[in-house]
Amino acid sequence: MGKSVTGRGISGAAVAGLLGFWLGVPQLALAQTDPPKAAQVESQASGSAACSVRVIHATAGGSRFDAGLEPLRPQLTRPPLSSWTSFALLQQHELSIPSATPQQFALPGEHVGVLSYEGPTEASGKKRLRLRLEIKDGAAKLLSTKFVINDSGTMLQAGLKHDKGLLVLGITCRIVS
């Protein structure tokens, strides 16, 4: 059986529901929204993506801001994350993700992240990437979501409690081929 994510003994379904709620709020996810299907010009799911996944520990105490997070400062210091005042880069994973081949990365608390590249898309002349993010605790999926970001864009995902703070994932991806 997996460990409680929050330390308060709530069920995995409740945690997944809370994460779903957090991700359902557009300002919290901070990702570009998926345009209407009619506006998309779909490409074959091919090629690969190069992604950088930053694992960030946000806390309400102090004012530390890790130098490695400077490119994300504008996103991390405005609502809804502005109530957190200290940001530390715990890990950074560089992933090369061939189409339809999920890549795993470690997360604190014995969790595992899985990122999949589901192919390129284009909207209003902008190249974009379709991606899937999963967060697992053993066999249990705590989060499973699809999102679309601009080529070389960044999406923030927040919600897992960690060491008197919050884990934030900063995912930046670009199309390789």
Give the model confidence (pLDDT) of 27-44 as tens digits. Answer: 344 444 444 443 333 334
Residue 61 in any domain: the answer is: yes
For residue 57, the enclosing domain spans 12-175
120 touches 108 (CB < 8 A): no
Cα gap 125→84, rounded to integer Å: 36
The verdict on residue 127 lying in a domain is yes
In a domain, 2, yes or no: no
pLDDT tens digit string along 50-99?
A: 999 999 999 998 889 999 999 999 999 999 898 999 999 999 999 999 99
Which tokens go with 156? Answer: 């923030």
| pLDDT value of position 20 | 40
Return the higher-pLDDT residue of 8 and 136.
Answer: 136
Q: Give domain status of residue 103, yes or no.
A: yes
6: in domain: no
Asked, for residue 5, whether it belongs to a domain, the answer is no
List helix spans (H) across 1-98: 12-24, 26-29, 73-76
Is 3 domain-assigned? no
- Do the domain assignments include residue 89? yes
Distance CA 104, CA 47 (A): 18
Spatial separation of the C-alpha atoms in residues 78 and 80, rounded to whole Å: 6
For the chain, the domain total comes to 1
DSSP string, 70-127: GGGHHHHTSTTSTT--EEEEEEEEEEEEETT--EEEEETTTEEEEEEEEEEEEETTEE
